[in-house]
Structure 1
Amino acid sequence: MEGSIQLAAPNDIDNPYTSALETSMMEKLDKLFPMSPSRCIYRVPHRLRSVCEKAYTPQVVSIGPLHHGKEILKAMEEHKWRYLQCFIRRNNLSLKDCIKIVRDQETSLRSCYSEAIEVQSDELISIILVDAVFIIEFLLRYSYLELRDENDCIFGPPEMISDICPDLMMLENQLPFFILEHLFSLDIYSTPFEDTDTLEDFGRPSILHLCYQFLNHSGRCIGGTFDNLKAVSEEEVQHFVDFLRKLYIAPIFESQSAGQPNQVTAPSIEELHRAGVKFKFGSTKNLFDIRFKDGILEIPKLVIWDETELVLRNLIAFEQCLCEDNYISDYVHIMDQFVNTPKDVELLVHYGIVEHMLGGGNNELSTMINSLTRMVNIYPTKFYYGTVCEDLNKFRSLLWQTRIANLRQNYFNTPWKTISFIAAVFLLILTAVQTICSIISLKP
């Protein structure tokens, strides 16, 4: 009809509301944080954090931006600034030069975190500089007594070393090693360690040497002492947790995971004991070298101290976030298979395989081990101990061996029981012979 108005179809003209939505969504897409291949510092996944929140949350000192500014951690901030002041004065440095070093690395620093750091440039540079120098000063003062200040609340009264150490081992409380190395290169203090073996072929102490010295001398190794620095120093180390993991896995023999059985379950230590398995204290320094051969289960010594749970949880979290091979996770899983009750721990302690200083005794340790693998992903096709688990299950399934073992444990575990058992069998035979003879004599 002439003069009638034609209504435009929805797609005939631009919808102003649609255009606004598109613009808004495009802005969000443009602001997405790029997932850098160099990311190595992660938030612990909620499934792990929900099991033990405290193991991943710093209680005294924040390192880096993820926990910076929390009320509980503010008391240590002023002391960190004192460490920066000492570092600058001792090395006759200008604060401007230190700031420039960090500013030049800002892009690389941001790319090391798995999430966008919503902090302005100047604030982030201040956080990183103060925290990096704090770590350097802490490690130097730990190794060199002459650098300690009598007014230092960490090494002097009230001696907060044991309070600081757990926080330094948390995945969310890390700084990339490269920024520590850049700043440490400014330090003029280069006195060799008293233990000169740790400096063989290395020359001037490095951040790796300081961390190594700290870990070895502070009793924080769960498998004896570390002696793998040379091997680890040839690899790129991302941060303190990565360094600790590399020290543990350095002596691992060639991986057994490829083509191995997809077996991830194993009998408990008590069940294996009943089945006649013998236990042997592993002589190797390789914590992961669990072997089963000819009825003997060999397990390297495991040393448990107050911070073991925290360290293992953060190593596991790091593996679950980034690593292709989950050696720590697999090790904890098979130990969880071995330990179901305090009796299992008692046997491991008896055979010298486990040494622990936990106040709650065997019950506390069994509870801790059982909780470590909750919500941890284990991959059967890559499980490091697949062959060990399969062999242990096969051995246990042999009923005759189990019965013989029970007989030995119940009747031949002492000389007197052995004599009594033999005497009882002998009397039984005599009684049977006498009965047969009596029957024969009664026949006509």
Structure 2
Amino acid sequence: MDVSIDMKKLADSLSGKLECSIYRVAEPRRCSNPSHYTPQMVSIGPFHHGKEELQPMEEHKRRYLKCFLQRTEVCMTRFLTLIKDKEAELRDCYAETIHNLGSDEFVTMVLVDAVFLIQTDDDRIFGKPELHWDIRHDLWLVENQLPLFILIDLFNLAKTKTCGDGFLKNMSFITISCALIGKYRGARLPIPKNLLEIHFPNAKHFLDLIVLCLQPADTKPRAGTELKDPNIPSLKELHQAGVKFKPAAGSTRNLLDINFNQGILEIPYLTLYGSTERLYRNLIAFESMHGYTGYFNDYIIMMGDLVKTPKDAELLIRNKIFGLGNTEALATTFRKLDKDCAIDNFHFQYSGIVADLQDYSKLRWHKWRATLKQNYFNTPWASISVIAAVILLLLTATQTVSSLIAL
């Protein structure tokens, strides 16, 4: 037996695992919110393949495959061969060894799931409102991913020979991906299409693509990034200190681009839906497990401190930064998400903004001016009353002085 060959196989296997990008969520994180990391309608990839509760969608996926093969002249054998040739590379994308699927079953699973994703831009299921969002939400889970490279390869192979309806002829997989995430983006995440196209070549899978797009444009470390005082003031406290709030300029502003300048705190527009917490948890988990800088982690911490109570959320609504009216849900959601995050005081991305907000809040003049405006000049009638009172006081003082002089 050649020991060197065995060592080479072991080294190759270990090297592959170091390049993985699809992970199992650790039990401590999963046990508190198991449904947020588990597909409810459809499994993608090996981690949840074969689960009984997800079997109803397997029949739909095989119908997709049949339709797909009818619209391309490429035979199924070529698709299976392509996947088989890349099986080792595909398996290495998963942080966990796939023991429960033999080679044939693994290759078949990849083909069926890949075609399902490719066909979703021209499907019959997503047109049904009752299934549309439930299925789509499952596509952004950490554990429910297929590597993008195999989707692209299968898509490009299908394009080599298309049938009479021109299926896929004038399309690219970037277009399909942008459509998938773009439709989700419209209701959940402000990610412009050009960012999706820029980051697509470097993305490992759909969730990775979203994380890459959410990273700040300027990722260079700033001087003095240490968060010296972790007590981030809430929006209500900032309001009382005279800070003004406005939505960040531009409809395509990055969700994480919070800025403070000349007494104005800019926060990108955000919305809250039933699935928002689930999506955010998976973004936090993947960002952490894949070793990315914790930009989204820091955003959740920052927003959790800014929006501590419904009163804070009301300020977002009043200033047209928050899209829905459930103020209690917004404050609660960020508080719950904050428990999944860990703050690094030495590399907190908003440390400079926090320091500026703290300094601004400490200046008494800002508080006095804010109090005067909020309590005495908050309505036209209140302003008129204050002005009238001041005039009356001046007249009274003038009369008193005149009387004293006359004496």
- Normalising by structure 2, we get a TM-score of 0.86
Q: CA deviation at 1:416?
A: 2.6
> Alpha-carbon deviation of 1:404?
2.5
The answer to whether structure 1 residue 34 and structure 2 residue 14 are counterparts is: yes
- In structure 1, what is the equivalent of residue 176 of structure 2? 210
Match of 1:171 in 2: 142
1:326 maps onto 2:294 in alignment: yes
1:236 equivalent in structure 2: 202
Decide whether aligned partners of structure 1 residues 192 and 127 sit closer, same or farther in structure 2, where only a CA change above 3 A counts.
closer
- Residues 320 and 377 of structure 1 are in contact (CA less than 8 Å); yes or no, is this contact kept in structure 2? no
Kindly provide the amino acid, as one letter, of the partner of residue 283 in structure 1: A
Q: Identity, % of aligned pairs?
A: 41
1:125 corresponds to 2:96:
no
Report the residue type matching 1:127 in the other structure: M
Contact kept? 1:281, 1:301, Cα under 8 Å: yes
Does residue 247 (structure 1) correspond to residue 188 (structure 2)? The answer is no
> Which residue does the alignment assign to 2:227?
262
CA distance, structure 1, for counterparts of residue 303 and residue 271 of structure 2: 13
Q: Distance in 1 between matches of 2:210 and 2:401?
A: 74
How big is the shift at 1:206? 2.4
What pairs with 1:7-156 in structure 2 (closer than 5 Å)? 34=14, 36-118=17-99, 119-139=101-121, 141=122, 148=123, 152=124, 154-155=125-126
Matched AA of 1:330: D
Partner amino acid, structure 2, of 1:177: L
**Pairs aligned (count):** 388
1:222-233 matches, cutoff 5 A: 222-223=189-190, 225-233=192-200
**Farther off after superposition, 428-437 or 314-323:** 428-437
The worse-fitting range, judged by mean Cα deviation, of 331-340 and 208-217 is 208-217
Structure (1 or 2) with the greater helix fraction: 2
Aligned-pair CA distance for 1:340: 0.7
1:333/1:204 Cα in 2 relative to 1: closer, same or farther (>3 Å)? farther
Contact 2:224 2:352 in 1 (8 A): no
Instruction: Tell me if the contact between 1:215 and 1:221 (Cα under 8 Å) persists in the aligned partners.
Output: no
C-alpha distance in 2 between matches for 1:410 and 1:102: 69
Contact 2:196 2:209 in 1 (8 A): no
Which is further off, 317-326 or 49-58? Answer: 49-58
Which segments of 5 or more consecutive residues in structure 1 lack a partner in the other structure? Answer: 1-29, 142-147, 194-202
- CA-CA distance at 1:105 after TM superposition: 0.9
Which digits, 9 at most, give the CA deviation of each residue in 1:6-57, with x for residues without a partner? xxxxxxxxxxxxxxxxxxxxxxxx8997362210001123343234222211
**Contact 1:275 / 1:401 at 8 angstroms: preserved in 2?**
yes
Equivalent residue number for residue 267 of structure 2: 299
**CA offset digits 1:48-72 (Å, max 9, x no partner):** 3234222211000001110111121
Which amino acid counterpart does residue 53 of structure 1 have in structure 2?
P
**How far apart are residue 271 of structure 1 and its match?**
0.9
Q: Does 1:414 align with 2:379?
A: yes
Deviation at 1:376, TM superposition (A): 1.4
Cα separation, 2, equivalents of 1:61 and 1:291:
39
> Greater Rg, structure 1 or structure 2?
1
Q: Quote how far apart the aligned CAs of 1:161 are.
A: 2.0
Residue 26 of structure 1 corresponds to which residue in structure 2? none
Per the TM alignment, residue 431 of structure 1 is displaced from its structure 2 partner at its CA by: 6.6
What secondary structure is seen at the aligned counterpart in 2 of 1:58?
coil
Quote the RMSD (CA, aligned, Å): 3.0
Separation (CA, whole Å) in 1 of partners of 2:401 and 2:211: 72
Give 1:197's aligned residue.
Answer: none
The Cα of 1:177 is off from its aligned counterpart by 0.6
2:368 to 403, 412, 420: 403
Question: 1:391: which partner in 2?
Answer: 356
Q: Secondary structure at the match of 1:280?
A: strand
Q: 1:157: how far off?
A: 5.4
Q: What is the aligned partner in structure 2 of residue 317 from structure 1?
A: 285
Structure 2 residues without counterparts, runs of 5 or longer: 1-9
Query: What is the Cα deviation at residue 155 of structure 1?
Result: 3.9
Structure 1 length-normalised TM: 0.79
Give the letter for the 1:69 counterpart. G
Query: Is the Cα contact below 8 Å between 1:169 and 1:314 reproduced in 2?
Result: yes
Taking the aligned partners of 2:115 and 2:33, their CA distance within structure 1 comes to 30
